[in-house]
A and B are shown apart, each in its own frame.
Chain A
């Protein structure tokens, strides 16, 4: 089976940094994705990690440690538009999602 855990909610101030952790236990592993989803909209791709280490993409970075079954998404210089749900998803033979972390950015 698959078990993907991430915090339910996080709140941060505009301009700050937030780190969303994701731990996983899956029967197989073929990469980890992070998606952003605004309410009522489809998920949009943020990042993909298949090897250990840090992937940086503008204000967003994602880290993976396969031996620890651990990833995080780092959001820097938070903006109000970053208020959304962030989904960690692990790919083995299918893409399985964590429950999502709702990030609220306050002015």
Chain B
């Protein structure tokens, strides 16, 4: 298995909703990442997990809450989002912190 699987592919949520994005990989990668990408902009790093511990938080608002239950799974919990949070959310993994990033197909999030 050489893929990073993200669910759901599309999500529409209200500003008072609570939802979660899921990411799964079975490549034995020990680093996992969340990126946010707005239209016609490059991906921007949000969080890095290394060996299931949060190692980088790029000053992301607390309405985004990451979780890494085990080495194969990465979640992003969403609460009280704003319309400007609408974007493509990409998950990625790598065998170390240095090489071989694999991206999932993303979750397109719309906040209404």
**Interface, chain A (partner B; CB < 8 A):** 30-31, 33, 35, 40-45, 48, 50, 87, 91, 93-100
**A100 & B105 in contact (Cβ 8 Å cutoff):** no
Given the interface pairs A96-B45, A99-B42, the reply to whether A42 lies near B98 with Cβ below 8 Å is: no
**Interface, chain B (partner A; CB < 8 A):** 33, 41-45, 48, 56, 88, 90, 92, 97-106, 108
Name B94's closest neighbour in chain A (CB-CB): A95
CB distance from A76 to the nearest CB of B (A): 25
The 8 closest A-B pairs by CB, nearest first: A97-B42, A42-B103, A42-B105, A42-B106, A30-B98, A43-B103, A94-B45, A100-B42
**A94 & B48 in contact (Cβ 8 Å cutoff):** yes
**B43 & A43 in contact (Cβ 8 Å cutoff):** yes
Q: Which residues of A have CB within 8 Å of B108?
A: 40
CB distance from B95 to the nearest CB of A (A): 13
Name B44's closest neighbour in chain A (CB-CB): A97
The 30 sampled A-B contact pairs (Cβ below 8 Å) are A30-B98, A31-B98, A31-B99, A33-B101, A40-B108, A41-B105, A42-B88, A42-B90, A42-B104, A42-B106, A43-B43, A44-B103, A45-B103, A48-B99, A48-B100, A50-B99, A87-B42, A91-B98, A91-B99, A93-B97, A94-B45, A94-B48, A94-B56, A95-B92, A95-B101, A97-B42, A97-B44, A98-B42, A99-B41, A100-B42
Contact of A97 among B43, B48, B97 (CB under 8 A): B43
Q: Which residues of B have CB within 8 Å of A41?
A: 105-106
CB distance from B37 to the nearest CB of A (A): 9
Report how far A41 CA is from B107 CA in the complex, Å.
10
Contact of A45 among B45, B88, B101 (CB under 8 A): B101
Q: Which residues of B have CB within 8 Å of A100?
A: 42
Q: Which residues of B have CB within 8 Å of A99?
A: 41-42
CB distance from A86 to the nearest CB of B (A): 11
Q: Which residues of B have CB within 8 Å of A30?
A: 98-99
Q: Which residues of B have CB within 8 Å of A31?
A: 98-99
